[in-house]
Structure 1
Amino acid sequence: MHDEIKVGNLLLISAPKNHFPLKPAKRTYLLAGGIGITPLLCMAERLARTDADFELHYCARSAERMAFRERINTSSFADRAHFYLDDDNASPTLDLEKLLSEPEADAQVYVCGPSGFINAVLSTGKQCGWPADQLHTEYFAGAETASEDDGSFEVRIASSGAAFTVPADKTVYQVLAENGIDIMVSCEQGSMRHLPNPCARRRTRPPGFIPG
């Protein structure tokens, strides 16, 4: 894109999509790991403006690597922000079992960060009895899956009947693009719930028809 787009070109874009919405709640827990603070900071600022009851828990490797730390420390909700640092022995440790020990019917939990951090929060929440619809996540990339058993398969365009073989080392999107078929994709990271077109699903999906 950066090599082809020039000043004055007209681009077709979609309307903004929000796959990580903030829901009304009596109490909100925001848990961030590393750069996962990005969407949660916006939520914290929104909750603070509406005088909502919430807590922000932010984990990072070091203070130097904490994005928006000064912004949080000087915010109106600084007293509701809790920092946890890997490289500081004096820093408290985030005790997920204690934080999520009692499921609250009118509360919502939001988590964003590395997959290991997200999985720890989700598994702890579920073990403590939190319903799945009160645990919300935002992934920056699709989860890694084993690919050593992948094989080639065929996809067929429903509107034209054209068929293409997708080898094990390529995605459906890549093969279609190579053959001049343009489909809409979001970020190509493999987080399937964010993809607007079924054509862009993972290559391990079995053969089938693709709406054209």
Structure 2
Amino acid sequence: MNLNRSNLSMNRKKSIVKEFDRDFDNYSDFILFNNINNLGLILQKDPSEIKEGLNIDISLPVDPSPYDTFVTKLDGVIKLKTLKLYNELFTMNKVDSRSQLIEDLKVLLLYVDGLQFMQYSYPFFGAGNLPEYPAAKDSYIPDDEYFVLGDNRYNSLDSRMGESYFTYPLVEDSSLLAESIFVNWEPHTINSKYIRGRVRFIVTPFSRLKAFF
């Protein structure tokens, strides 16, 4: 049976809102349901445009971080549920397709994006420091290669990092959505021909003004 938002009764919609709203008292008081077709597109819009166009209330922080975007309560719910799923993946390396968490995610995605589906796979991406550098080697960085370090953002991969990609089927015995795994744990270096120039100065912020020679 294909499911979509039109299959949900008003009572069921209200129960979904109540369930996912329960733990979000610290977020702005905002729940929107018939107007959202694609949450990703909604979140990319300017908050003032959304407030004017959809007549909804979005609260913005007084001094937002340059890495932050405004977060609606509904988006916060998705992130919380996603973090719970990630925690299960970290601790158990698997997710039971019959678990209530998966069912909650299915209902929420259906409710927000108006998805039609019979089965759905959930991607998981993880990156971690290399456990150790290659053993018994005095030098493993070749000539004209550079070992680079990132700025420690959660989505930053540098020469220390490998990467892995997992897809877990949410419907058991699904050949279409079978588990796939990609792993790369080799150190990464950059050849000098790809380096365009050198950093000579830090100009801003002024508290970190510095010259490199």
Whether the TM-score (by the shorter chain) exceeds 0.5 is no
Instruction: Determine which structure has more spread, i.e. the larger CA radius of gyration.
Output: 2
Higher-strand-fraction structure:
1
TM-score when scaled to structure 2? 0.25
TM superposition score normalised by structure 1: 0.25
